[in-house]
Amino acid sequence: LTAKSVLAADLGMGRPLGGKFTYDGKSLFIADTLLGLIRVNIKNNKEEDSTFRTIDKVQIVASFVTDKNGKQSRILYANDVDIGPVTGHVYFTDSTDIAPERIGTRTWDTMTGFKHDYFRGKSKGRLLRYDPQIDKVDILAENIWFANGVAVVDKDESSIMISETSLARTLRYYLKGPKKGSLEVMSSKFPGYPDGGDCSFETNLCFAPMPSTALPIFVKLGVLPESFNAFFRTLCLMLPVSVLLKIKPVKYGGVVEMPVGDNDDNSSKSIRILQDPFGKEIGMLTGVATFENKLYLGSLKNEFIGMFEYNDE
């Protein structure tokens, strides 16, 4: 299958990782590691919209966030984004407080930031929310081990799924109900690192792509005694970027399929792994979108969009 693609907008200097159209199709929100949260006005006119008050083609809507104590912090690694079907709120992740590494004049390596974050061993990821109506960003959840993919779980917008890359699992944050404001494990013990994410309201299934299985150097870290582990991590943090760039992902392509229920702990429910174990046909999967029992898969390796038709029974 082939499809025609056209240039929608030139974002200039940036590193866009995730994006989502609003339900009315008028705007596209993009998570950019360098710029923060971006809004693209699809209509590209000069008429002020009653819902989205921008009159520009491309606008940076969030590059800083203020916490409950009034302390402002920079959004250094905006990663993925989803839109609430009820409120229109924009949910997005800030993976870590380590910015991507600049290489040359126009290239940034986002993988190096992940490696530095892993070796450091601190949970600095955040789940953020942007309200277009009042033009405000707030922090929903913190202390996530590299917050990556994000997806609204249910059509009533009662919870959010987050891919927690470094611990190979997904989390669920509750917006409503008795667990409102809480964050818990949704599914865990994946064979690889989850990246993006998407959920189907029709099938009650959520999906997270995995671009790689565990890196050999990370596996070795896990079996070291605590004292040697800390020492080895410190040595790794001292390595020049040129050496870190040589630590490559394992050739692999996989997607985790997770059933979800209503306001319960899903960690005990069975999951299904869809995979190309050696990444021969498709690998380095970082993005997934579900529509009408089909998964559309984005890859950093392949020059095509993969499609998999699944059965929700």
Q: How many helices (H) and strands (E) does the chain have?
A: 4, 23
Q: Give the confidence band of 283 by pLDDT, cuts at 50, 70, 90.
A: very high
Write out pLDDT tens, residues 2-22: 666 766 667 767 789 999 999
pLDDT at residue 2, as a whole number: 62
CB atoms within 10 A of CB 66: 13
Tokens of 155: 């059509």
Give the alpha-carbon dihedral of 197, 294, 186, 212, to 10 degrees. -60
pLDDT tens, position by position, 214-242: 998 898 888 889 889 989 999 999 999 88
Band of pLDDT at residue 52, cut at 50, 70 and 90 = very low
- What's the confidence (pLDDT) of residue 173? 98
Q: What is the pLDDT of residue 148?
A: 98
Q: What are phi and psi of 293, to 5 degrees?
A: 60, 25
Higher-confidence position of 126 and 107 = 126
The pTM of this model reads 0.91
